Chains A and B, each alone.
Chain A
Amino acid sequence: MAGFVEMLGARVLGMLTMSGQIVFLFQDVMRCLFRYPIRFNLLAKQIDFIGAKSVGVVIITGGFIGAVFAAQCEFQFKRLGMSSAVGPVVAIAMCRELGPVLCALMIAGRVGSAMAAELATMKITEQIDALRALAVYPTEYLIVPRFLAMLISLPILVALAIICGIGAGYFVAVHVLEVPGVYYWNNTQKFVGDKDISIGVVKGLLFSIIILLVSCNKGLQSSQGAEGVGLATTEAVVDAFICVLIANFFFTFLLNALL
């Protein structure tokens, strides 16, 4: 029993410590944003890595999720004679939930892990100390360009995932499962509004901050050599996934009330 309490206490303390570190990192990033000039060469490099190189993954994820979701909806709705509702259901789900969440998870897996591994390696090989010794503030040089690149890239990727999902859903429903195309499209336009699209894009923006802070914090706090790099990478992905999923629950209510 004592061992369990001890373990639970350690977990809670660990979570509180991580939360504190993330808050301080966010504060530091915000301060650096207004204090130092933006390094556009590093920003462009990060946009290429985070944004441009993720396009393929996001198209595949968004497209296939939209296609599968449309097929499942059609299978169920057909029995109720509601096939004409497939379009709006797919579009709303893609805009509000599937697009932003799945895109964020893909980016957390692809980009978050890479960022954590790179920063952790830089830490254990003293490259971060070398930056400091060369009179460069690490947050400004390493984190700010990644932060801005995530803020720019993820909402665009989310929009792309939504478009691909809706497009693939349309294709499967209309051309494969023979739902009348006019109903599909008219109902989609009728029930999907600016609010749905805004919720998706704003969620993408908020998820980008979460993924960046969790991943970078894991990288910067790593230790124990090569083992520490592996651990930081794994924990960055797992923690980013969990944080995105939990935050999504609260953002859903919040954004629904605000927008």
Chain B
Amino acid sequence: MADSSISTKPLVRIVGVEKKLGRQQVLRGVNLEIREGERMVIIGRSGGGKSVLLKHIIALMQPDAGEIWFRERNLVGLNEEELVPLRKDTGMLFQNGALFDSLSVGENVAFPLREKGVRDEKLIRAEVERALKIVDLPGQGHKWPADLSGGMRKRVALARAAIAKPALMLYDEPTSGLDPVVSDSINKLMVRLGDELKMTSVIVTHDMVSAREVGDRIAMLYEGKIYCVDQPDVVLTSKDPIVYRFVNGISDASDAVF
């Protein structure tokens, strides 16, 4: 999957990040570099800290220890207002979409453009319609988030996150809860956004099909640390027992709850 459009220069550097939530030590010294233009897939068990790690990348959460570098700036310790300009260059697809209930679908998708200062209503309408068409929801701008199914909400959220063409896109389980056809279209869209707009992507997923199709590299988070990082073919065919069991969905005795 790796191609020449991927730079060796890291866009994001995560150095020794630790995070405790309540009594649980979720991240125990995560080190990871995400290169410009690449699609990095992060896999790992549920509750293993993947979404927490993703939120650290755009400083929606602050680590207890460690550093997170976006371009030349360490995000740790910056206040919310200092983060605003940096976040203009990033987009995030939340697990449940996180659409604004008080805005229509069209207004949700237009939101990043308006925040970037675009005032030309004709241009905004055209961009919104184009974005909705890409996510296979043409002409749905007048609807309200409450009227949409989970899959539709996620696609609208994807259109909203990508419309301003950020340099870094974060996807939190983009295909969960979607049927295989829509999942495939989302996978293709992530690849297309990466290739055409040279977007760097970080994708958290449990979907191994998605990981194989989309990822330039796959990182596996295990017990709060990056257990392995490599190309999809290498990780997905690994004989390492921990990786093998996860990739092939094989539980061991300790996983049995009942």
Q: Of residues 125 to 151 in A, which have CB atoms within 8 Å of B's CB atoms?
A: 125-127, 129-138
Which of B12-20, B30-38, B91-99, B227-235 is the interface stretch?
Answer: B91-99
Q: A132 contacts B87, CB within 8 Å?
A: yes
- Does the CB pair A130–B81 fall under 8 Å? no
The chain A residue sitting closest to B94, CB to CB, is: A126
B101 adjacent to A133 (CB under 8 Å): no
A125-B96, A125-B98, A127-B98 are contacts. A133–B91 as well, Cβ < 8 Å?
Answer: yes
| Alpha-carbon distance A133/B98, docked complex (angstroms) | 11
Residue numbers in B under 8 Å from A121 (CB-CB):
101
Chain B residues within 8 Å of A137, by CB: 80-81, 84
Interface check B60, CB cutoff 8 A: yes
Query: Which chain A residues in 69-90 approach chain B with CB under 8 Å?
Result: none
Contact of B58 among A118, A125, A133, A138 (CB under 8 A): A133
- In the assembled complex, the CB of B215 is this many whole angstroms from the nearest CB of chain A, namely 22
Distance of A126 from chain B, by nearest CB (Å):
4
By a CB distance below 8 angstroms, the chain A residues around B115 are: 134-136
B112 at the interface (CB under 8 A from A): yes
* Interface size grouping (class) on chain A: 10 to 19
In the complex, which residues 39-87 of chain B have their Cβ closer than 8 Å to any Cβ of chain A?
A: 55, 58, 60, 80-81, 83-85, 87
Instruction: Kindly supply a per-residue 1/0 record for chain B positions 98-114, scoring 1 wherever the CB is within 8 Å of any chain A CB and 0 otherwise.
Output: 11111000000001100
Complex CA–CA separation, A135 to B115 (angstroms): 8
> How far apart are the CA atoms of A165 and B86 in the complex, in Å?
54
What's the count of A-B pairs with C-beta under 8 Å? Answer: 54
Is B125's CB within 8 Å of the partner chain A? no
CA distance A135 to B98 in the complex (A): 15
**Given A134-B111, A134-B112, A136-B115, do A129 and B84 touch, yes or no (CB 8 Å)?**
no
- Please tell me if B88 contacts chain A, counting CB pairs below 8 Å: yes
Cβ of A136: which chain B residues have Cβ within 8 Å of it? 84, 115
* B201 interface hit (Cβ, 8 Å): no
Whether A130 lies near B92 (C-beta < 8 A) is yes
Q: State the Cβ distance, B183 to closest chain A Cβ, in Å.
A: 21
Chain A residues with Cβ below 8 Å from B101 are 121-122, 125, 127
Set A122, A126, A127, A135: member contacting B84, Cβ < 8 A: A135
Complex interface: chain A residues within 8 A of B100 (CB): 122, 127, 130-131
- List 8 A–B pairs whose Cβ atoms lie within 8 Å, in order of A's numbering: A126-B94, A129-B60, A130-B94, A130-B98, A132-B60, A133-B60, A133-B161, A135-B84
Hey, which bits of chain A sit against chain B, CB under 8 A? 118, 121-122, 125-127, 129-138
Q: Which 8 residue pairs spanning A and B have beta carbons closest together?
A: A130-B98, A135-B87, A126-B98, A133-B92, A135-B88, A135-B84, A126-B94, A127-B98
